[in-house]
Amino acid sequence: MDGHLAGLISRFSKPGRVEWLGVRPERKADVVPLKSVLITENGLAGDRRATPGKRAVSLIQAEHLPVIAALSIHDKIPPEWLRRNIVVSGINLLGLRKVRFQIGSVILEGTGICAPCSRMEEILGYGGYTAVRGHGGITASVVETGEVKIGDVVVPILG
Protein backbone atom coordinates (compact mmCIF):
# COMPACT_ATOMS: atom_id res chain seq x y z
CA MET A 1 0.00 0.00 0.00
CA ASP A 2 2.82 2.47 0.81
CA GLY A 3 4.27 2.09 -2.68
CA HIS A 4 0.84 2.78 -4.15
CA LEU A 5 0.39 5.89 -2.00
CA ALA A 6 3.88 7.16 -2.90
CA GLY A 7 2.95 6.86 -6.56
CA LEU A 8 -0.28 8.78 -6.06
CA ILE A 9 1.45 11.53 -4.09
CA SER A 10 4.02 12.05 -6.85
CA ARG A 11 1.40 12.70 -9.56
CA PHE A 12 0.62 16.23 -10.66
CA SER A 13 -2.09 16.90 -13.25
CA LYS A 14 -0.26 19.80 -14.83
CA PRO A 15 2.54 22.27 -14.15
CA GLY A 16 1.95 25.42 -12.15
CA ARG A 17 2.58 29.01 -13.16
CA VAL A 18 4.07 32.03 -11.37
CA GLU A 19 1.36 34.69 -11.10
CA TRP A 20 3.01 37.27 -8.83
CA LEU A 21 6.38 38.04 -7.20
CA GLY A 22 7.22 40.34 -4.31
CA VAL A 23 9.86 41.25 -1.75
CA ARG A 24 9.65 42.79 1.70
CA PRO A 25 12.55 45.27 1.85
CA GLU A 26 12.33 45.67 5.63
CA ARG A 27 10.20 44.67 8.59
CA LYS A 28 6.65 46.04 8.33
CA ALA A 29 7.49 47.80 5.04
CA ASP A 30 5.09 47.52 2.12
CA VAL A 31 5.69 44.53 -0.13
CA VAL A 32 7.20 45.53 -3.48
CA PRO A 33 5.70 43.64 -6.48
CA LEU A 34 8.20 42.58 -9.16
CA LYS A 35 8.08 41.20 -12.71
CA SER A 36 11.23 39.14 -12.16
CA VAL A 37 13.68 38.50 -9.34
CA LEU A 38 17.06 36.93 -8.78
CA ILE A 39 17.01 34.13 -6.23
CA THR A 40 20.34 33.59 -4.48
CA GLU A 41 21.23 30.93 -1.94
CA ASN A 42 19.75 33.33 0.65
CA GLY A 43 16.38 33.75 -1.09
CA LEU A 44 14.94 36.61 -3.12
CA ALA A 45 17.35 39.49 -3.75
CA GLY A 46 16.05 42.55 -1.90
CA ASP A 47 13.90 40.63 0.57
CA ARG A 48 14.46 41.34 4.27
CA ARG A 49 14.30 37.63 5.14
CA ALA A 50 16.98 36.77 2.61
CA THR A 51 18.88 34.25 4.72
CA PRO A 52 19.81 30.72 3.77
CA GLY A 53 17.76 27.89 5.17
CA LYS A 54 14.33 26.36 5.28
CA ARG A 55 12.44 29.66 4.98
CA ALA A 56 14.50 31.34 2.26
CA VAL A 57 11.44 31.57 -0.04
CA SER A 58 7.72 31.67 0.76
CA LEU A 59 5.07 30.62 -1.75
CA ILE A 60 1.28 30.76 -1.67
CA GLN A 61 -1.32 29.31 -3.97
CA ALA A 62 -3.32 31.80 -6.07
CA GLU A 63 -6.42 29.64 -5.68
CA HIS A 64 -6.31 30.24 -1.92
CA LEU A 65 -6.58 34.04 -2.17
CA PRO A 66 -10.38 33.96 -2.76
CA VAL A 67 -10.73 31.37 0.01
CA ILE A 68 -8.93 33.65 2.47
CA ALA A 69 -11.15 36.53 1.34
CA ALA A 70 -14.26 34.40 1.90
CA LEU A 71 -13.04 33.55 5.42
CA SER A 72 -12.25 37.18 6.25
CA ILE A 73 -14.14 40.46 6.03
CA HIS A 74 -12.71 41.27 2.58
CA ASP A 75 -14.09 40.76 -0.91
CA LYS A 76 -10.62 40.37 -2.40
CA ILE A 77 -7.12 39.73 -1.01
CA PRO A 78 -4.19 41.28 -2.90
CA PRO A 79 -1.05 39.11 -2.72
CA GLU A 80 0.89 41.93 -1.04
CA TRP A 81 -1.30 41.64 2.04
CA LEU A 82 -0.18 38.07 2.72
CA ARG A 83 3.53 38.97 2.55
CA ARG A 84 4.63 35.87 0.61
CA ASN A 85 7.31 36.01 -2.08
CA ILE A 86 5.73 33.99 -4.89
CA VAL A 87 2.10 33.37 -5.86
CA VAL A 88 1.64 30.19 -7.91
CA SER A 89 -1.44 28.84 -9.69
CA GLY A 90 -2.36 25.49 -11.19
CA ILE A 91 -0.38 23.16 -8.93
CA ASN A 92 -1.03 22.06 -5.36
CA LEU A 93 1.77 23.66 -3.35
CA LEU A 94 1.21 21.30 -0.43
CA GLY A 95 2.21 18.51 -2.81
CA LEU A 96 5.59 20.21 -3.19
CA ARG A 97 6.47 19.97 0.51
CA LYS A 98 9.59 17.81 0.89
CA VAL A 99 9.94 17.77 -2.91
CA ARG A 100 12.38 19.56 -5.19
CA PHE A 101 10.76 21.70 -7.85
CA GLN A 102 11.85 24.06 -10.59
CA ILE A 103 10.64 27.58 -11.26
CA GLY A 104 12.37 29.27 -14.18
CA SER A 105 16.06 28.50 -13.77
CA VAL A 106 15.74 28.07 -9.99
CA ILE A 107 15.46 24.80 -8.09
CA LEU A 108 13.79 24.95 -4.69
CA GLU A 109 12.96 22.32 -2.11
CA GLY A 110 9.69 22.58 -0.19
CA THR A 111 10.48 22.59 3.52
CA GLY A 112 7.19 23.09 5.32
CA ILE A 113 3.97 24.96 5.87
CA CYS A 114 4.12 28.76 5.86
CA ALA A 115 1.96 29.51 8.88
CA PRO A 116 0.40 32.95 9.22
CA CYS A 117 2.02 35.54 11.44
CA SER A 118 0.28 37.89 13.87
CA ARG A 119 0.45 40.62 11.21
CA MET A 120 -2.46 38.91 9.45
CA GLU A 121 -4.74 40.14 12.23
CA GLU A 122 -3.42 43.69 11.64
CA ILE A 123 -3.69 43.54 7.86
CA LEU A 124 -6.88 41.49 7.40
CA GLY A 125 -8.69 42.63 10.53
CA TYR A 126 -10.36 40.65 13.28
CA GLY A 127 -10.08 36.91 12.54
CA GLY A 128 -7.46 37.46 9.83
CA TYR A 129 -4.96 35.09 11.41
CA THR A 130 -7.50 32.27 11.46
CA ALA A 131 -8.63 33.03 7.89
CA VAL A 132 -5.10 32.33 6.64
CA ARG A 133 -4.57 29.14 8.69
CA GLY A 134 -4.28 26.17 6.36
CA HIS A 135 -4.04 28.45 3.32
CA GLY A 136 -0.71 30.21 3.96
CA GLY A 137 1.34 28.21 1.46
CA ILE A 138 4.77 26.68 1.91
CA THR A 139 8.35 27.64 2.62
CA ALA A 140 11.31 26.47 0.57
CA SER A 141 15.08 26.36 0.61
CA VAL A 142 17.20 27.21 -2.43
CA VAL A 143 18.97 24.31 -4.13
CA GLU A 144 20.05 26.13 -7.33
CA THR A 145 20.05 29.89 -7.81
CA GLY A 146 18.78 31.83 -10.82
CA GLU A 147 15.99 34.09 -12.01
CA VAL A 148 12.24 33.72 -11.65
CA LYS A 149 9.73 35.80 -13.58
CA ILE A 150 5.97 36.08 -13.84
CA GLY A 151 4.68 33.39 -16.18
CA ASP A 152 7.44 30.89 -15.38
CA VAL A 153 6.37 27.27 -15.15
CA VAL A 154 6.47 25.41 -11.81
CA VAL A 155 7.26 21.70 -12.10
CA PRO A 156 8.19 19.05 -9.54
CA ILE A 157 11.48 17.23 -9.96
CA LEU A 158 10.53 13.63 -9.38
CA GLY A 159 12.77 10.64 -9.17
Residue 3, pLDDT > 70, answer no
| pTM of structure | 0.92
Neighbours of 107 (CB within 10 A): 18
* Number of independent structural domains in the chain: 1
pLDDT (tens digit per residue) in 46-86: 998 767 789 899 999 999 999 999 999 999 999 999 999 99
Q: What CATH number did the domain enclosing 30 receive? A: 2.40.33.20
Domain ranges, residue 54? 2-157
Nearest to 150 by CA among 7, 14, 20: 20
Residues near 63 by Cβ (< 8 Å), separated by ≥ 6?
A: 89
